[in-house]
Amino acid sequence: DIQMTQSPSTLSASRGDRVTITCRASQRISRWLAWYQQKPGKAPNLLIYEASNLASGVPPRFSGSGSGAEFTLTISSLQPDDVATYYCQQYDSYWTFGQGTKVEIK
Amino acid sequence: EVQLVESGGGLVQPGGSLRLSCVVSGFTFSTYNMNWVRQAPGKGLEWVSYINPTSSTIYYADSVKGRFTISIDNGKNSLYLQMNSLRAEDTAVYYCARASAWSGNPYYFDNWGQGTLVTVSS
């Protein structure tokens, strides 16, 4: 099974800050990685697929990069609406999620 | 507009059974693969099961294999999850999730329902 490890687990930053979340796979997964945003009490929402492709309707302040086994999600200018938990997901072999990164505003 | 609406959750005793449903609209259900994903209270996301439109390909997570059964009814635009021999650790919000459209590439999940809560407790 492919394991996904996200860091950090929690992140606190100020409005307008650049924020980066890292996701590492236990084996190479090419570019088969997605990122989801989940706000409290809501279903996950697709942000990024194939490591760097922005899903429809997602603000351009979100971006993804990486390939192989190391990936990043970047929010270029953190907004109050971005307060959420973010999950990476590999879909190279079945589907596995990272443990999540909770993003807060200072 | 794509919509997925789950139902069927509730309180059930350990060892009991429950059947979840997910009714979809806004897309041609019979052309998409579907999934169930769960989230225990305060925890992360766990993929549970996958089914293709003809039910010829079905996968389960090891944690539910032999106890859960996924199925579809294309005529009713519905996805189901029959859950038997339920355990306390099956307590979670269960989401149905649509797999991305066929492109020759592996599938991610591009649309999710709002979830239904299953609580396994005596």
Residues in chain A: 106
Average pLDDT over residues A62-77: 98
How many other β-carbons are positioned within 10 Å of the β-carbon of residue B43? 12
Is residue B101 pLDDT above 90, yes or no? no
- Cα(A80)–Cα(A83) distance, rounded to whole angstroms? 6
Interface test with B, best of A95, A96, A97 (most B CBs within 10 A): A95
Size of interface A-B (CB pairs under 8 A): 56
Cβ <8 Å between B95 and A100 = no
The mean pLDDT of A80-95, rounded to a whole number, is: 98
Residue B14 has which token pair?
């350990």
Two tokens at A2?
Answer: 């492919």
Residues A13-24, mean pLDDT to the nearest whole number:
98
Q: For B83-94, what is each residue's pLDDT tens digit?
A: 999 999 999 999
pLDDT of residue A68: 96
Q: Which H/E stretch holds residue A46?
A: strand A45-49
Res. B103: pLDDT tops 90: no
Q: Is the pLDDT of residue B102 over 90?
A: no
Determine which of B27, B39, B45, B114 to mutate to test the interface with A (most A C-beta atoms within 10 Å).
Answer: B45
| Each residue's pLDDT tens digit, B12-57 | 999 999 999 999 999 999 999 999 999 999 999 999 999 999 999 9
Tokens of B16: 């009991």
Q: Enumerate the residues of chain B whose CB falls inside 8 A of the CB of residue A57.
A: none
pLDDT over 70 percentage in chain B: 100
**The pairing of beta strand A96-97 with beta strand A70-75:** unpaired
Chain A residue with CA closest to B105: the answer is A32
B50 touches chain A (CB under 8 A): yes
Q: Are B58 and B79 in contact (CB under 8 A)?
A: no
Residue A6 to chain B, least CA–CA distance (Å):
12
In one-letter notation, the amino acid at residue A74 is T
pLDDT digits (tens, 9 = 90+) for A29-69: 999 999 999 999 999 999 999 999 999 999 999 999 999 99
Q: Sign of torsion, CA A49 A51 A53 A58? A: positive
- List phi, psi (to 5°) of B70: -95, 145
